[in-house]
């Protein structure tokens, strides 16, 4: 257990208490979550500084407070003077290291594999998890679909939880006997210090395309945020790297990893690399199959229960990571062959003679890739149901509309998670992008705000040999409207619409 003196030395902070022997048993950002013996981390928030909640934290048994000079002034003004303060200039810069130390640096006990990239993080994480679990290993996973230990969900929030929650989760996984932890690493987490204090035995880079420009402003800033996982002295640099070099961003990332001493292993579906893939084909059982070549020049058969060339790239990364982590490639291939990824090109089957697909694609490049994949599989027409999220990168809305309209015979613009924005304004931006295309380059465009109604309209439209793609939300089970989460699951709605059509009630 860490003492106050230990933590003060770790973060080179000033401490308001002369007695540094106080033991700290945990750390949290939420005063309401404080347990006796915890440290309360009082950060500046979007609307209010966390130091305003120090009194509540003290009443719940906080042993100390980590804050900045502004927070220290706020605490002094409240009259709370019976709790030690650790004062640092930048709390987020030290929060990860402090949290890791409090929980015994769990990422040094259990190897952590970090996956970053614009698209494919969840799928790749599931592929790696399946590879290790099929081989008999205990695996923890942290990402967009939540956190799991051997497939059993554990409470968590955000793609990458805040540093105190993340390190506590690592410790739980360590104490439960987990052998490997696979986690999605977002660009936000790398910039905001959420993964500080984490040792990444392996870091993997998948790809980069437009997203989060409301936060990063430019693609170069976005790239540099991702590059922190592979950059020496960033505080989050991985020990070894696996890099997909299918695009120019990957080639740059490989060079950064090389310069940082991460000894990158490369994968590619388009050219020469340590791991490469030949042409793909769809077998009678619906699996995608191809021959892959490993670093020794040996060939192996990849059987992947999901379509899309981009998923071959994800599988190559998963294979490279698994082998680098000590798993024989044949064991990894066996696990990958049986993976199920919720809300990723997920087929909803009620015996209909057309495809109904739910996918998480919510970025321009991902939308285009999924559409191209479905086009290669069907002989009939394609309907795309898609919206865009509110309070997020608005610059991608028109681009998504163009991609959806260009690739479909019917594009139904609908609501996603409008959050605090007017959903009609969001739909108008997406629709405007569709109408930028000449009539001969797009199909029909409809605007149906009610997502359930949009899904039913798409299912009613479909004929034998067609495909309906409901994109944007994938595995999600709620719709955020003005901060209120309403239950909504695309998979449930598609299945209900299929059943209604079968019974003649649609």
Sign of CA dihedral 394, 247, 204, 277: positive
Query: Would you call 460 helix, strand, or coil by DSSP?
Result: helix
Q: Which two tokens stand for residue 373?
A: 């994949």
Region of 454 (left: φ > 0; alpha: ψ -120 to 50; beta: rest) is: alpha
Query: Would you call 52 helix, strand, or coil by DSSP?
Result: helix
Alpha helices in 240-299 (DSSP H): 248-259
Q: Which two tokens stand for residue 443?
A: 């199909």
Is 416 marked as a binding-site residue? yes
Is 134 marked as a binding-site residue? no
Is 248 marked as a binding-site residue? no
Query: Would you call 335 helix, strand, or coil by DSSP?
Result: helix
Is 31 marked as a binding-site residue? yes
Q: Which two tokens stand for residue 329?
A: 């490639």
Is 418 marked as a binding-site residue? yes
Query: Would you call 406 helix, strand, or coil by DSSP?
Result: helix
Is 79 marked as a binding-site residue? no
Which residue shows structure tokens 């290993």? Answer: 137
Is 194 marked as a binding-site residue? yes
DSSP state of 50: G
Farthest-apart Cα atoms in the chain, separation: 77
Is 402 marked as a binding-site residue? no
CA distances from 383 to 39, 128, 426 (A): 53, 32, 20
Let me know if 286 is exposed, middle or buried by CB neighbors in 10 A (0-12, 13-18, 19+).
exposed
Beta strand pairing status for 275-277 and 281-282?
A: unpaired
Beta strand pairing status for 288-293 and 275-277?
A: antiparallel
Is 119 marked as a binding-site residue? yes
Is 502 marked as a binding-site residue? no
Gap between the Cα atoms of 357 and 371, Å rounded: 11
Is 61 marked as a binding-site residue? no
Task: Check: CB of residue 64 under 8 Å from CB of residue 84.
Answer: yes
Contacts of 170 (CB under 8 A, 6+ apart): 100, 103, 106, 107, 110, 112, 140, 181, 198
Is 373 marked as a binding-site residue? no
Task: Tell me the CB-side half-sphere exposure of residue 496, using CA atoms within 13 A.
Answer: 12
Beta strand pairing status for 275-277 and 240-244?
A: unpaired
Query: Would you call 89 helix, strand, or coil by DSSP?
Result: coil
Which candidate, 93, 91, 95, 72, places its Cα nearest to that of 16? 72
DSSP sequence for 358-373:
EE---SHHHHHHHHHH
Is 396 marked as a binding-site residue? no
Beta strand pairing status for 299-304 and 288-293?
A: antiparallel
What is the Cα 339 distance to its own chain's centre?
Answer: 18
Is 160 marked as a binding-site residue? yes
Is 323 marked as a binding-site residue? no
Q: In what helix (H) or strand (E) does residue 253 lie, and over which residues does it extend?
A: helix 248-259
Is 391 marked as a binding-site residue? no
Task: Check: CB of residue 78 under 8 Å from CB of residue 55.
Answer: yes
Question: Binding site for meso-2,6-diaminopimelate, residues?
Answer: 392, 416-419, 472, 476
Question: Binding site, residues?
Answer: 29, 31, 117-123, 159-160, 186, 194, 392, 416-419, 472, 476
Question: Binding site for ATP, residues?
Answer: 117-123
């Amino acid at each position: 257990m860490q003492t106050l003196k230990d933590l003060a030395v770790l973060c080179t902070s000033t401490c308001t208490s002369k007695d540094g022997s106080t033991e700290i048993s945990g750390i949290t950002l939420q005063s309401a979550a404080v347990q006796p013996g915890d440290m309360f981390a009082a950060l500046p928030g979007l609307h209010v500084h966390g130091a305003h909640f120090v009194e509540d934290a003290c009443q719940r048994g906080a042993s100390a407070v980590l804050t900045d000079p502004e927070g220290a002034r706020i605490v002094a003004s409240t009259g709370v003077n019976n709790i030690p303060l650790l004062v640092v200039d930048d709390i987020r810069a030290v929060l990860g290291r402090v949290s890791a130390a409090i929980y015994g640096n769990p990422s040094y006990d259990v190897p952590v594999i970090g996956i970053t990239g614009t698209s494919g993080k969840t799928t790749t994480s599931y592929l790696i998890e399946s590879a290790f679990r099929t081989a008999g290993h205990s695996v923890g996973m942290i990402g967009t679909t939540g956190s799991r230990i051997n497939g059993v969900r554990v409470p968590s929030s955000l793609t990458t939880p805040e540093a105190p929650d993340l390190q506590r989760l690592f410790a739980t996984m360590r104490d439960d006997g987990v052998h490997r932890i696979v986690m999605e690493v977002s660009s936000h987490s790398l910039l905001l210090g959420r993964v500080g204090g984490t040792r990444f035995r392996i870091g993997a880079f998948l790809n980069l395309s437009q997203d989060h420009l409301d936060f990063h402003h430019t693609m170069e800033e976005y790239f540099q945020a991702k590059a922190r996982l592979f950059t020496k002295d960033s505080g989050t640099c991985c020990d070894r790297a696996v890099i997909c070099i299918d695009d120019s961003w990957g080639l740059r990332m490989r060079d950064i990893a090389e310069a940082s001493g991460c000894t990158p292993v490369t994968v590619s579906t388009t050219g020469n690399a340590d791991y490469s893939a030949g042409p793909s084909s769809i077998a009678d059982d619906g699996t995608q199959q191809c021959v892959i070549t490993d670093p020794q020049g040996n060939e192996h058969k990849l059987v992947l229960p999901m379509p899309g060339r981009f998923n071959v790239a994800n599988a190559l990364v998963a294979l490279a990571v698994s082998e680098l982590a000590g798993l024989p490639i044949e064991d990894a291939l066996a696990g990958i062959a049986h993976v199920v990824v919720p809300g990723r090109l997920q087929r909803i089957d009620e015996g209909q003679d057309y495809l109904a697909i739910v996918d998480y694609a919510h970025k321009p490049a991902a939308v285009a890739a999924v559409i191209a994949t479905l086009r290669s599989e069907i002989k009939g027409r394609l309907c795309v149901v898609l919206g865009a999220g509110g309070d997020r990168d608005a610059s991608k809305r028109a681009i998504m509309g163009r991609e959806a309209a260009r690739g479909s015979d019917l594009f139904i613009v609908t609501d996603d998670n409008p959050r605090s924005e007017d959903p009609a304004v969001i739909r108008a931006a997406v629709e405007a992008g569709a109408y930028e295309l000449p009539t001969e380059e797009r199909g029909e465009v409809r605007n149906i705000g009610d997502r359930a109604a949009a899904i039913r309209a798409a299912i009613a439209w479909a004929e034998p040999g067609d495909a309906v793609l409901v994109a944007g939300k994938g595995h999600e089970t709620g719709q955020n409207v003005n901060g209120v989460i309403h239950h909504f699951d695309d998979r449930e709605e598609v299945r209900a619409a299929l059943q209604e059509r079968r019974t003649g009630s649609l």
